[in-house]
Amino acid sequence: MQCFQFGNLTIINDKKAFGEFALHLQSPWRLTNSNEIIVGSSDLYEQADENAEYDPDFEWDKFNANLRDVKLEKLFSDNKLIVVSANVDTFGGLVINFDNNVSLTVFPDLSSKAENEYWRLIDNRNTKTKHYESWSTGYEIG
């Protein structure tokens, strides 16, 4: 699961940070600009060094050992992304457009009729947190 934080961050014990809103993704996603895919969910399984030779012992699940971690760190350190618009589609997809021509696209790719959660948006601004959830069966507010 990939988690993105939005809004002002609250930091706990100098380590854990959470935003006013959190977006938890359990579907494929990508961040793009008009020229390229900047980073995508499957970059998790690529080595951080794009020019490195294939390593059968590559440990993708170590922090900053994979291409996704490295590219996300660079994107967020180089840019302050401000949401301009967000749209959902009939199939549980989501597109968030940012002010600097960057877009986050979430695209569920399951045809199964089983109940699957694609993503959820969490409002962390108060103790009566609401979740806006995208499921294979539709949208819910939980």
Q: What confidence score (pLDDT) does residue 122 get?
A: 92
Give pTM, 2 decimals.
0.89
* Number of folded domains that form the chain: 1
Burial 47-75 (b: 16+ CB within 10 A, else e): bbeeeeeeeeeeeeeeeeebbbbbbbeee
Mean pLDDT of 56-76: 91
Q: Looking at per-residue confidence, does 124 or 86 come out higher?
A: 86
CA distances 112 to 2, 21, 25, 117, Å, are 22, 29, 18, 12
Q: Looking at per-residue confidence, does 19 or 13 come out higher?
A: 19
Answer whether residue 62 shows pLDDT above 80.
Answer: yes
Mean pLDDT of 101-120: 92
At residue 67, φ and ψ (nearest 5 deg) are -65, -35
